[in-house]
């Protein structure tokens, strides 16, 4: 298992696209060279082991990922959650009296009424996967293995090369190279990071034995909310403890494989960037008039026929 993060903070002069392409080609060559050097040493010392490799480059506000094996890289990005999906949202808007109590609280106490004070969440993290696992049951991977004379057999519920190796690309694993196992990485195109991208996670396959990338993003959202509601400046907000929490959760759920994680936090925003469309709540102030929400400003409007007051709820 191998994971690396490289950040290039220097802005490129001249043809930036050409420079980024050079970085991409250099990364592929470096991984192949690493495999060659490791395989030579493994053959000399009679090593039979191997490793995955997931390398992330960030440059000029863009990201590129090269992957060999089944470690994963993905982004946890803030996404607007519709009011009908948000936990507890319906309970908040049960009547005009509830709305007016919120407004009165803001006026009398001189403080903002925050949605999260009522246990509500209008945003969540969505997992945006940046890698594809190299398992031998993937059609393109199976084709290469079988063309080289290898076989894809299932053992213990997992497809394996010749019934043994669970990945079809690897650093090392020299004895399987003649059966179609390669070290050439699958590389994404350069893609721009967005304002909504909150965390980059790179983790070994053991993290995902009992959970998915979305489960990991849900955990990070829970940890972020817990940290922001705490008055103490605990280490729960550090990238180290976030990675530690991911590892502990995987082990706690019974993972028996290698477990490691890297978490890179980006600039977190209170609200995600999204369009200005109105969202109609499925709860009514009374039997006749609906409540409307402008999701771009987090302002709640009561229909003028019901009440002309404007309630502002700050997330």
pLDDT tens by residue, 96-148: 445 556 656 655 666 554 444 444 446 789 999 999 999 999 999 999 999 99
Of residues 109 and 92, which shows the higher confidence score? 109
Mean pLDDT, residues 291-314 taken together: 36
Are residues 6 and 265 in contact, defined by beta-carbon separation less than 8 angstroms? no
What Rg value do the Cα atoms of the chain yield, rounded? 25
Judged by phi (left if over 0) then psi (alpha if -120 to 50, else beta), residue 172 lies in left
CA max distance for the chain: 83
- Angle value at C-alpha 8, between 4 and 13, nearest 5 degrees: 150
The helix or strand, by DSSP H or E, that contains position 197, with its residue range, turns out to be strand 197-203
**Token pair of 89 as six digits:** 């949202």
**Token pair of 166 as six digits:** 């669970």
CA dihedral defined by 292, 294, 298, 301, rounded to 10 degrees? -40
- Angle value at C-alpha 168, between 162 and 172, nearest 5 degrees: 95
Q: Residue 94 — pLDDT band, cuts 50, 70, 90? A: very low
Cα–Cα distance between 285 and 271 in angstroms, integer? 26
Say if pTM beats, i.e. exceeds, 0.85. no
Mean pLDDT, residues 164-184 taken together: 96
Task: Judge whether residue 68 has pLDDT over 60.
Answer: yes
Q: Which residue has the tokens 């407004």?
A: 103
Domain with CATH 3.60.40.10 in the chain: 3-78+124-134+169-265
Cα–Cα distance between 270 and 273 in angstroms, integer? 10
C-alpha distances out from residue 297 to 100, 103, 239, 279, Å:
19, 17, 30, 12
Could you please state the CATH topology (level 3) that the domain comprising 3-78+124-134+169-265 is classified under: Phosphatase 2c; domain 1 (3.60.40)
**Token pair of 292 as six digits:** 């409307």
| Mean confidence (pLDDT) of the chain | 75
Are residues 70 and 133 in contact, defined by beta-carbon separation less than 8 angstroms? yes
What was the pLDDT predicted at 161? 97
What was the pLDDT predicted at 21? 86
What was the pLDDT predicted at 3? 60
- What DSSP designation does 169 have? B
What was the pLDDT predicted at 110? 64
Of residues 86 and 24, which shows the higher confidence score? 24
What was the pLDDT predicted at 116? 45
Mean pLDDT, residues 10-39 taken together: 79
Mean pLDDT, residues 218-223 taken together: 91
Q: In what order do the strands lie in the sheet with 278-284?
A: 278-284, 290-294, 299-302, 310-312
Q: Is the dihedral of CA 186, 187, 188, 194 positive or negative?
A: positive
User: How is 22-89 classified by DSSP, letter by letter?
Assistant: HHHHHHHHHHHHHHHHHHHHHHHHT---EE-EEEEEEETTEEEEEEESS-EEEEEEEEE--TTTSTTH
- φ, ψ at 297 (rounded to 5°): -120, -5
Q: Which residue has the tokens 């090269």?
A: 66
Instruction: Give the lowest-confidence range in 178-182, 228-232, 265-269, 276-280.
Output: 276-280
């Amino acid at each position: 298992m191998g994971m690396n993060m490289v950040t290039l903070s220097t802005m490129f002069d001249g043809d930036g696209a050409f420079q980024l392409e050079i970085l991409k080609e250099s990364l592929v060559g470096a991984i192949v060279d690493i495999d060659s050097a490791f395989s030579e040493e493994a053959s000399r010392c009679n090593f039979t082991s191997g490793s995955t490799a997931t390398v992330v480059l960030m440059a000029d506000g863009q990201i590129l990922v090269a992957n060999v094996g089944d470690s994963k890289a993905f982004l946890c990005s803030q996404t607007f959650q519709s009011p009908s999906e948000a936990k507890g949202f319906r309970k908040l808007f049960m009547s005009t009296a509830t709305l007016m109590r919120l407004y009165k609280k803001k006026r009398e106490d001189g403080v903002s009424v925050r949605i999260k004070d009522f246990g509500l969440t209008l945003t969540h993290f969505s997992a945006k996967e940046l890698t594809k696992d190299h398992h031998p049951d993937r059609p393109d991977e199976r084709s290469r293995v079988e063309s080289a004379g290898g076989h894809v057999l299932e053992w213990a519920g997992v497809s394996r090369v010749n019934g043994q190796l669970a990945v079809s690309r690897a650093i090392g694993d020299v004895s399987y190279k003649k059966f179609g196992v390669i070290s050439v990485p699958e590389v994404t195109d350069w893609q721009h990071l967005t304002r909504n991208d909150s965390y980059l996670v790179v983790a070994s396959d053991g993290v995902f034995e009992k959970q998915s990338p979305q489960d990991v993003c849900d955990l990070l959202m829970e940890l972020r909310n817990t940290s922001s509601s705490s008055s103490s400046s605990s280490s729960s907000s550090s990238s180290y403890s976030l990675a530690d929490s991911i590892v502990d959760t995987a082990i706690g759920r019974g993972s028996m494989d290698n477990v490691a994680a890297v978490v890179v936090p980006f600039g977190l925003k209170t609200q995600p960037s999204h369009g200005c469309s109105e969202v109609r709540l499925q709860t009514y102030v009374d039997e006749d008039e609906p409540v409307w929400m402008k999701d771009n400003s987090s302002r709640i409007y009561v229909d003028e026929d019901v009440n002309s007051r404007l309630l502002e709820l700050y997330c």
